[in-house]
Structures are given as C-alpha cells and as structure tokens.
Amino acid sequence: MSEGLMYCVSCCRILPVMESYTLYRTGFYKHNVPAGMCKECQAGLSEDRK
C-alpha cells in the first residue's frame, strides 16, 4: 500500500490520511495502513448521538 492512506473501520474504505478524523494505534501500522475513522463516519456518529 502507498503511504498516506488509512483504513476506516466504520465504512471499510481505504482513504487518504487527510480525510481521517482519527487514527488508531493498531497492527495495521505493520502494513503501512493505519486504521481509524474518516470524517464522514465521525460526522454520522455525531448526528446519531443528538
């Protein structure tokens, strides 16, 4: 995988790190693809909590 990409654990997409809301420290770093949550999914979670 190319550097600068992340895996969103909510929507299961590979996205540019610039679109991430948060990154988690997981084993995905071994594969150069950090796991986290994208801004779209985080916005959806925020809407659900209201």
Q: Where are the domains of the chain?
A: 5-49
Determine the pLDDT at residue 48: 66
Answer whether 34's CB lies under 8 Å from 22's CB: no
Predicted TM-score (pTM) of this structure:
0.72
Determine the pLDDT at residue 2: 55
Determine the pLDDT at residue 1: 47
Using DSSP, state whether 14 is helix, strand or coil: strand
The CA distance from 15 to 10, in Å, is: 12
- The 10 Å Cβ neighbour count of residue 6 is 25
Per-residue pLDDT of the chain (50 residues; tens, 9 = 90+): 456 889 999 999 999 999 899 988 766 556 678 889 999 999 887 766 65
